Structure 1
Amino acid sequence: MQSTMVINCRNRTNAKNKGMECIFHSLNRHYIRMKKNERKENTNILFLVLDQLLKIMRSCDNLFNNLKPRLDFLGSYFDRIRVGQPTEYDINVILKFPINCGKIKLDATDCQNDYTAIVMPSDFRRLSLTPATASQGFTKTHSWCDKHYRLSVTKFRSWMQSTIDKAMNTLPQTDGYRVLKVKNKCFRIYSKTSGPANTITILKTDGSLIDIDLVPTFSFQLP
């Protein structure tokens, strides 16, 4: 009799667990998991807009063009751990300076909030003075370092924002949005600064938004 009761209890428990599992899968399917069609559509829009915007930025700023920018896709969506709808993306804009990165130093002296300063080598300082690199736009980097040759992240980000602004200002404007035309498709976009990122917002035809955080990133390897 006792063994029968145990079996019955287990059966009821298994049935309850299966019921909860069905409810979870239903919630995940209808409210949490990204819809395949929307994921594909938003990702296509993302690549179309960024590819064209990057081309415009390169044409607007000689320095940006000569830093050979490339995009690095990161964040919860590209790490395949995102739940909810694919409407927010984090993208690094990787920039590489023509210097000997092995001579870069890190210095935390007199830095606030536990930050570490990047001390640029003499190669970097010469970029704005040497005619060959100065003609490529590197004169803009002259003011990026203080008297101790520590790179100003604020000035670096400010330059990146100005490059985006110049690119955006080349686009026609309608109802407060800039209009970007790519492959016979028109996308309404606008930009704003959000912390270390420059956020590009795309307004889709159905009224929904896609936010893209572009983070300027100075790429180097320490020895």
Structure 2
Amino acid sequence: MMQVADIKTALKDDTIFNAINKEFLSLDLDDVKNNNQDLQKIFKKLIEAMKRESPLFNETFQRIMWAGSYYKKTRVEKPNEYDINFVINLPIKTKFMSDCPGYIKIKRTDDLPNVSKASNNKEMKSFIDDDSYLNQEKIRTWMESILSKVARTTSGNDQYIKLDRYPQITKKKSGPAFTLNVRFSNGDFVDIDLVPVLVYPIHNPPPKCSGKFSHSYINLQGSNNKSQDNNKCWSAVPKPLNNNKGKFPDARHRYWRLCFYDYEKDILSKYGRAKPVIRHLKKLRDTEDCMKNIASYYIETLCLHELQIFEGSNKVSSTFLFFTMLEKFHEAFQKRCIKHYWEDFNLLENMGLDEMIIIENRLNKIIKEIKKSIKDDKFAIARFVLKKDELEKLKRVINDHATAESNPKEIQTESSNESRCIII
């Protein structure tokens, strides 16, 4: 078995890593720009329509929060899914409680909501249960009802929203969640998960959060602009909950999922070499059938726990960093645990033991095969990261590049000869 020094030497060349990143993992900048412009135009019109249908939405909607791996720049391949959060500011005083890591309960502490109209006041009261807790299920239902009012036609279980000068939007419902299907100007169809969220500043942190969520830690790990850090927020997200394992000791509608997207995005930006490694790990996951249930967030969190690997790593190849994280990936499934970055709970707790064993064994085999063949096969890692047709394309790209380097263009001397002055 190769020693660390040997594998580090064998993986010092980033030619294959960089080619994979360029050909298969990097997003086209023009697509990113055009998609963002389409989203902004569509949501401007959609929000205007929603405000007309709901006075309470008009009063409480604050802004759009762009979320997900697309905006963290850790997404692989062409984006066909987006996560968009609508920030809602409810005009009530609250306090936070938690009896389940990763989730909070939000309790109203004032007597009456302070909204401008009696009808809005009544609607606000419907969000609050008999014990003064905010009901996240009612918030989601309220948001969906507004979109249903905006929709002009219905067919089956789908509803259609038509905005002036924009393609038809389909609103799809799957259980308690809903998704918008939108056609961009380039003809591509994308799914957008739209979620209402409540946001709070860093000086009002959630309870029982780890020591990582503090002014000193955020300023250390995040951006160098402390004023920007102080303006960032954490979110309470009303996601549907599964309580099959009795995780939630109280009524499910009281639990809001904690989200620290702003901070995670900034940390990954500071440790920029982590992002291509995350993309490679996600691509490996997508290529391996047994790993389909590993969420992108699990992979990002795994790398957040290993930031020291990426700190001051300029002299280490990205290929070696990827292999190091591949070993960490394997160790996580050996231990059956990827800890949440901010809270003390296991992200893998809902994954079955048999599935984790299969993934552990597969990762172990991949690592052994790479160690065995990397000295003689420069595509040893690519064989697992890419699908067969992609691997063949990569080989052609590498071979074409090698051919171009071995046959440089001849230096043209005609023009220089013509420019010489000969004095007789």
TM-score under structure 1 normalisation?
0.71
**In the alignment, is the contact (CA less than 8 A) between 1:68 and 1:95 conserved in 2?**
yes
Question: In 1, Cα distance between the equivalents of 2:148 and 2:159?
Answer: 14
**Letter in structure 2 aligned against 1:122:** D
Q: Deviations over 1:86-124 (max 9, x none)?
A: 32221211111223x3xx223457xx898542111224x
Tell me which residue corresponds to 1:151.
134
**Letter in structure 2 aligned against 1:157:** R
Tell me which residue corresponds to 1:105.
95
Deviation at 1:80, TM superposition (A): 2.1
Deviation at 1:126, TM superposition (A): 4.2
Question: In 2, Cα distance between the equivalents of 1:205 and 1:75?
Answer: 22
Tell me which residue corresponds to 1:8.
none
Tell me which residue corresponds to 1:133.
117
Equivalent residue pairs, number: 193
Q: Deviations over 1:153-174 (max 9, x none)?
A: 11111001111111223x799x
Question: In 2, Cα distance between the equivalents of 1:156 and 1:205?
Answer: 32
Deviation at 1:74, TM superposition (A): 1.9
**Letter in structure 2 aligned against 1:92:** N
**Letter in structure 2 aligned against 1:151:** L
Structure 1 unaligned spans of 5+: 1-12
1:208 matched to 2:188? The reply is yes
Deviates more, 1:21-30 or 1:149-158: 21-30
Q: Deviations over 1:165-213 (max 9, x none)?
A: 11223x799x97543334xxx3221113467764211124665322222
Please, which of 151, 164, 179 is the counterpart of residue 162 of structure 2?
Answer: 179
- Identity of counterpart residues, as a percentage? 31
Tell me which residue corresponds to 1:10.
none
**In the alignment, is the contact (CA less than 8 A) between 1:96 and 1:220 conserved in 2?**
no
Tell me which residue corresponds to 2:32.
39
* SS at 2:69 equivalent: coil
Tell me which residue corresponds to 2:172.
192
Please, which of 189, 198, 202 is the counterpart of residue 218 of structure 1?
Answer: 198
Tell me which residue corresponds to 2:49.
56
Please, which of 112, 121, 144 is the counterpart of residue 161 of structure 1?
Answer: 144
* SS at 2:138 equivalent: helix
Tell me which residue corresponds to 1:25.
18
**In the alignment, is the contact (CA less than 8 A) between 1:67 and 1:97 conserved in 2?**
yes
Deviates more, 1:52-61 or 1:22-31: 22-31
**In the alignment, is the contact (CA less than 8 A) between 1:127 and 1:134 conserved in 2?**
no
The 1:114/1:32 distance shift into structure 2, 3 A limit, reads closer
Structure 2 unaligned spans of 5+: 1-8, 206-424
* SS at 2:145 equivalent: helix
**In the alignment, is the contact (CA less than 8 A) between 2:51 and 2:58 conserved in 1?**
yes
Question: In 2, Cα distance between the equivalents of 1:148 and 1:68?
Answer: 25
* SS at 1:81 equivalent: coil
**In the alignment, is the contact (CA less than 8 A) between 2:150 and 2:161 conserved in 1?**
no
Tell me which residue corresponds to 1:122.
110
Q: Larger strand proportion, structure 1 or 2?
A: 1
Tell me which residue corresponds to 1:7.
none
Tell me which residue corresponds to 1:3.
none
Q: Deviations over 1:125-169 (max 9, x none)?
A: 3447xxx4325x232122222221111111111001111111223
**Which stretches of structure 1, 4 residues or longer, exceed 6 Å deviation after superposition?**
none
Question: In 1, Cα distance between the equivalents of 2:90 and 2:12?
Answer: 57
The 1:17/1:220 distance shift into structure 2, 3 A limit, reads closer
Greater RCO structure (CA 8 Å; 6+ sep): 1
The 1:207/1:114 distance shift into structure 2, 3 A limit, reads closer
